[in-house]
Structures are given as C-alpha cells and as structure tokens.
C-alpha cells in the first residue's frame, strides 16, 4: 500500500513513547516506521547498544511486542534461532500465525562485532529482516570509531590532533557486502525520508528469505550538533550524496533518490563537531579528497544501476 504519513499514528503502537533516548535521537522514529510497515505479528531482537539500553531500562520497556535482548555480537543468530523454532512449530501445527522476525543492531554490533553472526544468518537463508541503525560509531559506549565511521571523523579512538586528523579509512560498504550473500533484498535508507524507509521495510517484510536494511541515524550527542537538526543532517547526507538511497533486489540495483542539484559535501560536514578540524586551512586537502571520493562512488553507483 502507498505510504501515508497521516496514517502512521493509526498503526499498532509497537514501539511506545517514554524511552530514554537523547533529545533528537533518530532511533524511535526509525523503529516506529519499520515496525509499522507490516500488520502481521512481529518478534524482535536487539543487540546491546543505544536502542537496547534506552528502550529497556528495568522495569520499563518501549517494546509492545515480543522482544529479546541479545548480546552485542549475536542479534542475527538469536533471531534466526527464533525463526527456526517458529518454522518447526508451524510444521507441527502448533503455530498457525504468519509471524515476522526482525533484528536491530547499531553499526558497532553490525559492521564489526556482529558481522559473523549476520553473515551466517544471511547465508543460511532465514526468513528475517536485519536492520542496522547506523550512527557511525560506538555511541552507546562513548564514541569509539567503528568501520562505519567516515573518513576524517574524530572519535575517541580516531582523535583529531597534531599527529592525525580523525579516521584515516573510508567506511565499509556494508549493503554491498550483505548483498553479496545473494539474498533477495538489501537496502540503504535514511531516517528523514520516511516514505522511502517505510517502502523498503514493507518490501523487506513481504518477501520470503533474508533481508537487510541499514538506516542512517544521526547522533546529536556525539556528532555534536543541536538536537533539533537531526532530520536536517540526515537530509544533507543524502542531498550531498554522502549517503545514497538505494536498494538491491534479487541482484538488481536501483538508486531510489537522485538529488536535483549538486550540493557540496561541506554542507553536510560543517556544523558537526566531529568534522570541525577538517575546516582548518591545513586540512583543505582532506575536504577535497572526501568530495572527490563521494563523486566517484556516486558515478560508480549509477553505472551499477544500469547493469
């Protein structure tokens, strides 16, 4: 069905208010959007991280569905085990409902610590959706760098100082890595574009087999920008082509949004404390390198769409 923002409040309240996220956090928005993309029952699992900690401080919970807290590294293994048990019970006639299974993990628990469990679940072909809320570092434990951290970003483990100027490597392209498992569906989304996010979640939950979505989830606290600008920074990431919106369905890549005008990546980087050092005169070459790489990656993505 077409996405209608006005209909969202009428959806089942599967992730309720009252959690402990920071003001301006993207997590509640993306969680409610994804969980509202199907009317079927859902069982969810969340790896240790910002989402888990802020949504389940005992004795309270934001989860209004069956929910499991797994360790940092094994959310995909946990939900794949639940899905396998469900199939066994269904074969025996002990369960008749059509249930959907979703795992959530941050970039630390997905790109890095959890990638082995995720890869195994995708390769085995479990009927599940894995969602990575990507805030570009280990935010729950104090902003340590992850393999999702962008080139040039300052974190506590990739600091900007006299010797180095933030992270020296480009971020891992996880959607392409997961798509290489030959799964039916993998996509990249951003929290400000709810229509795109909803459609991707709806498609991922409607197919049979493993699906994966990574969602850009700006972190006001450790990206260091005002809380009211979360959606603006999400939008700027897409408009500058820093974070393209695309999907890979049965091996076919499609770019879901193509900016109508060229917006320099500096518009996304400026105003964020983690990139402040890049605007020093001596780091002009780093900004030029970032822009050049983004342009090259975008052109490559467009070529791949035509294959």
pLDDT for 8 equals 75
CB atoms within 10 A of CB 64: 12
Contact 25, 50 (CB under 8 A): yes
The tokens describing 267, both together, are 């518009």
What's the rounded Cα separation, in Å, for the pair 206 and 208?
7
What's the rounded Cα separation, in Å, for the pair 156 and 143?
6
pLDDT for 4 equals 73
Contact 240, 291 (CB under 8 A): no
CATH superfamily entry for domain 5-305: Thiamin diphosphate (ThDP)-binding fold, Pyr/PP domains (3.40.50.970)
- Tens of pLDDT, residues 125-149: 999 999 999 999 999 999 999 999 9
pLDDT for 183 equals 98
Closest CA to 99 of 129, 63, 61, 69: 129
DSSP structural state of residue 171 = P
Task: Give how far Cα 41 sits from Cα of 18, 48, 102, 241, Å.
Answer: 22, 23, 11, 36
pLDDT for 9 equals 75
pLDDT for 2 equals 65
- Tens of pLDDT, residues 145-185: 999 999 999 999 999 999 999 999 999 999 999 999 999 99
What's the rounded Cα separation, in Å, for the pair 131 and 46?
10
Give the chain's residues under pLDDT 50.
Answer: none
| Residue in the structure block whose two tokens are 């630390």 | 108
The tokens describing 25, both together, are 């956090």
Residues 6+ apart with CB under 8 A from 143: 137, 155, 156, 222
- Distance of alpha carbon 27 from the chain centroid: 10
Can you give the residue ranges of every domain in the chain?
Answer: 5-305
pLDDT for 287 equals 98
Task: Give how far Cα 176 sits from Cα of 181, 188, 217, Å.
Answer: 9, 10, 19
């Amino acid at each position: 069905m077409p996405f209608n923002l006005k209909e969202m409040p009428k959806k089942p309240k599967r992730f309720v208010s009252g959690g402990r996220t920071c003001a301006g956090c993207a997590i509640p928005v993306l969680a409610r959007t994804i969980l509202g993309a199907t009317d079927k029952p859902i069982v969810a699992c969340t790896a240790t991280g910002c989402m888990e900690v802020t949504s389940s401080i005992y004795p309270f919970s934001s989860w209004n569905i069956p929910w499991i807290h797994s360790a940092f590294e094994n959310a995909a293994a946990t939900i794949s085990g639940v899905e396998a048990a469900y199939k066994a019970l269904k074969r025996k006639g002990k369960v008749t409902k059509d249930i959907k299974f979703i795992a959530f993990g941050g970039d630390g628990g997905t790109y890095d610590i959890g990638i082995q469990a995720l890869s195994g679940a995708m390769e085995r072909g479990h009927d599940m959706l894995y969602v990575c809320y990507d805030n570009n570092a280990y935010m729950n434990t104090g902003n340590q760098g992850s393999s999702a951290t962008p080139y040039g970003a300052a974190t506590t483990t990739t600091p900007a100082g006299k010797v180095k100027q933030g992270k020296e490597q480009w971020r891992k392209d996880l959607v392409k890595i997961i798509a290489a498992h030959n799964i039916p569906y993998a996509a990249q989304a951003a929290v400000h574009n709810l229509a795109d996010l909803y459609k991707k979640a709806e498609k991922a939950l409607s197919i049979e087999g493993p699906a994966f979505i990574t969602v850009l989830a700006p972190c006001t606290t450790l990206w260091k920008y005002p809380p009211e600008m979360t959606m603006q920074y999400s939008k700027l990431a897409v408009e500058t082509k820093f974070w393209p919106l695309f999907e890979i369905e049965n091996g076919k890549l499609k770019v879901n949004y193509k900016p109508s005008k060229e917006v320099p990546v500096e518009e996304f980087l400026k105003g964020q404390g983690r990139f402040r050092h890049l605007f020093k005169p001596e780091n002009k070459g780093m900004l030029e390198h970032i822009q050049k790489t983004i342009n090259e990656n975008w052109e490559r993505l467009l070529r791949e769409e035509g294959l």
